Structure 1
Amino acid sequence: MTLSFKSLTRSFACLFVFFTAASVHASEIFTMESKLLDEGITARVALPESYEHSDSFQYPVLLVMDGSTQFEHIAGNINFLSTFSIVPEMIVVGVSARNRLKRFTHTKMEAYADRSGGAEQYTQFLQDELMPALQKKYRVSPYTVVTGHSLSGLYTSYLATHHSDFINAAISVSPSLWWDDFALIKDIKVVEQEAEKPAVRWFVSMANEPNEMAESYERLLNVLEAKPESAFNWESKQFPNETHDSTPLIGNVEGLKSVFRGFNAVPNIEIKSLEQLQAFYADYEKTVGYDFPMSVHQYNVYGLKAAYEGKVDWGQAILEKGVEVFDQSEILWDSLATVYSMNDNNANALKASNKAVQFAREHQSKYISEIEAQNSDLKSRNK
């Protein structure tokens, strides 16, 4: 079977509607007591929509600083981007600091001596208390990304340059690098990353900012450009049409695409077999230092792309592997039913579709209408 690019585009337009018709997966509240900070902590957690499709699959964590204001749009962006395998599916955790000035600054500024300089203690809380608590409750993988804006962007810059032992990637949107006479930038001149692991992937951006904000960004770029990539694996971008308050939207989207550059195995209309996909991600592991196992949406997108581009057997093999790993995924069983029917294998298509209906009902899936519609069509063909 051979489909034109126009046909493929039309098919994926339908796929787009199928995947984005509903809002982001519901979030839940996570609470704990911190001994290090001597205060109660409340965080918001958004689980991937595929979380119930397996009992063992682990997900990277994205820690969102200033979670009370930044959590929802970032969780939504993760949901959208991961649907098309641009970034991994992740557990998104929004954390808010009660005292931003103290928690997000790593030096004490004389004018704020009693209210600043607590970044190292806050890092200990995240690393030694919050993450273990999350790991106990959720299926968390050992890959951690942090994102922050303004003062919390200063903090994620601090983590990127001082704590490669804790994080794997960082996003800093219009960070307050002017703090304490550009103290962090001065630190970067002498600090080096650990040699045993790939450098933290760090994206830093700046909106149309005045005075010391713009100056600090230029100073940072000058310092980073003099460093080898083995020390800092960074990218930067300016957004001249954005203000300090509007830039977190585009800054986080671009930041996510940056720190996960090279993640999408088939970014355009090219396709890969299951074996080629496995080889691709083995190479990606060497680049980032972590083995990202393929997720529900990766199996789904790569399998359907292959099938719609005429390699139905490739698509079938990818999706069959997908349901082997995610045996409770209504998404994958439904797509496998589609590919079986493309191969005129209506009996197996109906079996796969019946499983899709079963799990869609168990999970109260937002895709239930589309899944039941295909099931009805397949039943009529098998009479």
Structure 2
Amino acid sequence: MKKFALLLLFLVSISVNAQVIYEPFYSSKLGETREIKIQLPRNYNPDEKNKYPLVIVLDGDYLFEPFAGNLDYQAYWGEMPKCVVVGINQVATRDKDLFYDKEIFFPAHEGASFFEFIGMELIPFIESKYNVSKFRIVAGHDVSANFINYYLFKDNPIFRAFILFSPDLAPEMSVRVKERLTSMTTDTFYYLATADNDISTLKDKILTHHTQLSALSNPKVHYRFDDFTDADHYSLVGLGIPKALNDIFALYKPISKQEYTNQVLTYEGGPFKYLEKKYDDIKFFYGFEKRIVENDLKAIAAAAFKKDDVDAMKELSRLARKEYPESMISAYYTGMYHELENNPKKALQYYQSGLLLKPSDFIDKDVLLDKIYTIKGEN
């Protein structure tokens, strides 16, 4: 019951502030019009230069809402980037859309047309109309989860991340996917999930598939598998969506306590160089720049003080002034730099000047006044 309630939460969690568009889309490949659902990020502005990852959801008649709701929720808290989510309704066309040849086990006839529809029509249309990056995720359930594997076999796959919930795997699929992922030269995320009460005939094949993939040693492939307890073929979706997305966007997340201890403090180049590398990696992996978040400034400042790294604190103060010129953030971290440099008079000037600026999530007048009173008390 708890798992079912969680799924319901996802289904109803789409914010009214997110823009959801229901649009008929004519496909020359399919020779007919299809219904698609599009969720744009909150406060989406087409004139801005921001680029958003694109998430394509098959079986959009029931998978779109839980994906859109979860992405909107986690983006609100800064746990992952805002995304453009596109769902393809297939309730009346699923069998023909996902058809594959029973001898060669690759898409054929209507299935081949549907395969081309996504790559040659739908994605170019979305790219022409919305600000999306080249980082694309595709997701499916059951037969549609099997179908998304076929995009791996292109010379240059159009998707970077694949989310498969309880796939009804075609014959030879496990061997073919393992061979393809073994030779993959582009960073690729592959998520696979089943559950203890999943359909038994599907689960047996999924576990075999997992055994094949768990032996992969390609550093370019980021593989995760979940076998949920107390869940079935349908409820596992509600459990798997946040797991898959958290894994795919792990690099994007703000610096955690574990990352701070195991990586920031131990990075050979020092705390600020770690911050630069983290954000360079985000741009490289996801195809867009992430603005430096306050949580990460706070973590790097703590590391710089702990390691008595004046140079790191100096660079961080410059970054804070550049990114947040009208916020107390800029004055606070510049003051911290001068404190570390043993220049309390200069630090006091910056803390006092910050009282006229805008407060942030972590820094308000009380924080600055504590700094001011401490320095005055010590001098």
TM-score, reference length from structure 1:
0.68
1:37 aligns with 2:30: yes
Find the counterpart in structure 1 of residue 94 from structure 2.
100
Query: Deviation of residue 256 (structure 1)?
Result: 1.0
CA contact (8 A) 2:15 2:72 kept: no
Match of 1:219 among 202, 208, 214: 208
Find the counterpart in structure 2 of residue 198 from structure 1.
186
CA displacement 1:122-173 (0-9 Å, x = unmatched): 2211111111111111011111101111122112233345575211011001
CA contact (8 A) 2:135 2:159 kept: yes
Q: Distance in 2 between matches of 1:106 and 1:314?
A: 56
RCO higher in structure (CA 8 A, sep ≥6): 1
Find the counterpart in structure 1 of residue 280 from structure 2.
282
Amino acid at match of 1:201: F
Identify if the C-alpha distance between structure 1 residues 57 and 120 changes in structure 2 by more than 3 Å, giving closer, same or farther: same
- Within-5 A mapping of 1:2-151: 23=16, 25-49=18-42, 51-52=44-45, 55-97=48-90, 98-108=92-102, 118-151=110-143
1:349 aligns with 2:357: yes
Query: Deviation of residue 188 (structure 1)?
Result: 3.1
- The percentage of aligned residue pairs carrying the same residue is 19
Match of 1:246 among 207, 211, 235: 235
Q: Distance in 2 between matches of 1:79 and 1:125?
A: 27
Identify if the C-alpha distance between structure 1 residues 45 and 251 changes in structure 2 by more than 3 Å, giving closer, same or farther: same
Identify the range of structure 1 (259-268 vs 125-134) with the bigger mean alpha-carbon deviation: 259-268
CA contact (8 A) 2:14 2:69 kept: no
CA contact (8 A) 1:63 1:144 kept: yes
CA displacement 1:292-343 (0-9 Å, x = unmatched): 4105xx625435767899989988765654469xxxxxxxx7xx35776894
Find the counterpart in structure 1 of residue 248 from structure 2.
259
Q: Distance in 2 between matches of 1:229 and 1:309?
A: 33
1:168 aligns with 2:154: no
Q: Distance in 2 between matches of 1:49 and 1:120?
A: 35
Match of 2:293 among 285, 299, 304: 299
Find the counterpart in structure 2 of residue 359 from structure 1.
none
Identify if the C-alpha distance between structure 1 residues 205 and 50 changes in structure 2 by more than 3 Å, giving closer, same or farther: same
* 3-state SS of 1:220 partner: helix
Query: Deviation of residue 268 (structure 1)?
Result: 3.0
Query: Deviation of residue 106 (structure 1)?
Result: 3.2
- Within-5 A mapping of 1:307-346: 321-322=322-323, 336=327, 343-345=351-353
Amino acid at match of 1:166: I
Identify if the C-alpha distance between structure 1 residues 235 and 160 changes in structure 2 by more than 3 Å, giving closer, same or farther: farther
Q: Distance in 1 between matches of 2:112 and 2:219?
A: 24
CA contact (8 A) 1:162 1:191 kept: no
CA displacement 1:6-65 (0-9 Å, x = unmatched): xxxxxxxxxxxxxx9965613123332110011113222122225339711111101111
Q: Distance in 1 between matches of 2:155 and 2:42?
A: 30
Q: Distance in 2 between matches of 1:47 and 1:321?
A: 29
Identify the range of structure 1 (217-226 vs 129-138) with the bigger mean alpha-carbon deviation: 217-226
CA contact (8 A) 1:151 1:176 kept: yes
What is the aligned length? 314
1:187 aligns with 2:171: no
* 3-state SS of 2:234 partner: coil
Amino acid at match of 1:345: S
TM-score, reference length from structure 2:
0.68
CA contact (8 A) 1:65 1:148 kept: yes
CA displacement 1:170-221 (0-9 Å, x = unmatched): 10011112x4xx34225336545665x4242100000221321111112212
CA contact (8 A) 1:82 1:88 kept: yes
Q: Distance in 2 between matches of 1:341 and 1:21?
A: 36
Find the counterpart in structure 2 of residue 10 from structure 1.
none
Unmatched runs of 5 consecutive residues or more in structure 1? 1-19, 325-332, 354-369, 375-383
Identify if the C-alpha distance between structure 1 residues 189 and 347 changes in structure 2 by more than 3 Å, giving closer, same or farther: closer
CA contact (8 A) 2:255 2:296 kept: yes
Query: Deviation of residue 74 (structure 1)?
Result: 1.2
Amino acid at match of 1:69: Y
Q: Distance in 1 between matches of 2:142 and 2:63?
A: 12
Identify if the C-alpha distance between structure 1 residues 321 and 81 changes in structure 2 by more than 3 Å, giving closer, same or farther: farther
Q: Distance in 2 between matches of 1:305 and 1:50?
A: 28
Unmatched runs of 5 consecutive residues or more in structure 2? 1-12, 265-270, 306-312, 334-350, 365-379
CA contact (8 A) 1:60 1:141 kept: yes
Q: Distance in 2 between matches of 1:46 and 1:231?
A: 30
CA RMSD of superposed structures (Å)? 4.0
CA contact (8 A) 1:103 1:116 kept: no
CA displacement 1:230-282 (0-9 Å, x = unmatched): 58542211012111121111111111122233332502384977754222133
* 3-state SS of 1:241 partner: strand
Identify if the C-alpha distance between structure 1 residues 277 and 50 changes in structure 2 by more than 3 Å, giving closer, same or farther: farther
